[in-house]
């Protein structure tokens, strides 16, 4: 689906569930995040629910500011979709946690990274073999995330309640979003979307034109 709609060629994947993220952050010794009062309210609510589901204790956060979040707190933070921004702000929080984990990993020893890997692998689904993952541990210090964003891009998306589908996020132009995506990821200038993307763009515009809110 991703490849078909964006002219990309993604061949591998890694997914991790809530419990895996909890264990990964804990194995790293926590991550630092700046929290607002609104975020704390929702974070603690999610913590309470997840602690019951995972049969864990939880530590409520009491005041805004910079905190070293444990695994449960960081995972609860990733789930917040309230307080402005909705799903796109939630996705940004998730990306922020990934960046914080990478930076913490750069300061960790190989043994600590190995412990983290062993803690999280039982909760991971991936197309990669463990033999492919292990060499990456020694190269963590060389990695950096230079750019991240949501898709469709900010300023290039719309929304509305579309028939039985409910509330939907819609690209103002799938073609323009794909062009920008290729420019961002591959530094491709003047990228020309495929015939498939152009056809999907036409279908999206036709199916949503009477429902968009803004």
- In which band, very low, low, confident or very high, does the pLDDT at 160 lie, cut at 50, 70 and 90? confident
Backbone Cα Rg of the chain: 20
Q: Which domains does the chain possess?
A: 12-142 (3.40.630.190), 157-208 (no CATH)
Please tell me whether the overall predicted TM-score, pTM, comes out greater than 0.85 for this model: yes
Rounded Cα distance between 137 and 206, Å, is 48
- pLDDT tier at 214 (50, 70, 90 boundaries)? low
Alpha carbons 107 and 104: distance in angstroms, whole number? 5
């Amino acid at each position: 689906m991703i490849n078909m709609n964006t002219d990309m060629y993604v061949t591998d994947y890694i997914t991790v569930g809530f419990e895996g993220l909890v264990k990964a952050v804990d194995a790293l010794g926590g991550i630092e995040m700046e929290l607002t009062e609104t975020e704390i309210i929702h974070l603690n609510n999610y913590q309470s629910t997840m602690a019951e589901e995972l049969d864990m204790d939880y530590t409520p956060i009491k005041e805004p500011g910079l905190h070293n979040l444990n695994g449960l707190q960081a995972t609860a933070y990733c789930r917040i979709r309230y307080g402005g921004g909705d799903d796109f702000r939630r996705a940004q929080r998730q990306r922020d946690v990934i960046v914080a984990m990478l930076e913490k990993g750069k300061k960790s020893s190989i043994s600590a990274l190995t412990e983290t890997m062993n803690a999280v692998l039982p909760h991971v689904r991936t197309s990669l073999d463990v033999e492919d993952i292990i060499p990456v541990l020694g190269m963590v210090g060389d990695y950096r995330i230079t750019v991240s964003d949501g898709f469709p891009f900010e300023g290039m998306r719309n929304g509305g309640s579309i028939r039985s589908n409910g509330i939907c996020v819609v690209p103002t132009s799938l073609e323009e979003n794909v062009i920008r995506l290729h420019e961002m990821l591959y530094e491709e200038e003047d990228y020309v979307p495929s015939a498939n993307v152009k056809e999907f763009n036409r279908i999206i515009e036709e199916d949503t034109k009477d429902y968009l809110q803004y």
